[in-house]
Amino acid sequence: MNHEAILAVLPDSKDDAKSLKEIAKAMGLEISSYVDWVRVERRLSSSLRALTRWGCVACDRRQREEGHKFWYNAYWKTDLDNGRDG
């Protein structure tokens, strides 16, 4: 996965953080079937873990508010990455 493309769709604040599914949709990735979603999820989560290790992205564990109360990771750009833009 292209790290620059991932960073381009991530929000700058923790309040606007996105889930894996929201990031995939914002990138226009094909997730119409379960098999497609599994492939995208594996590639995207691997890239996000690398970006987190490098300090470009932060991650927070959250529980969904409505519907099924499942847990997910929410991602956003850090100040370290925001400094690179300017």
What is the pLDDT tens value at each position of the chain, 86 positions in all?
A: 689 999 999 999 999 999 999 999 999 998 889 998 999 999 999 999 999 999 999 999 999 888 888 899 999 999 875 555 44
Q: How far apart are CA 23 and CA 20, in angstroms?
A: 5
pLDDT value at residue 86: 44
Q: Is 67 helix (H, G, I), strand (E, B) or coil?
A: coil
HSE value, Cβ hemisphere, 13 Å, CA-based, for 19: 9
- In the chain, where the domains are located: 3-85
Helix (H) or strand (E) segment spanning residue 77: strand 71-77
pLDDT value at residue 67: 84
Q: How far is CA 53 from CA 28, 35, 46, 58, 70, in A?
A: 25, 27, 11, 9, 25
> Is 3-85 assigned to CATH 1.10.287?
no
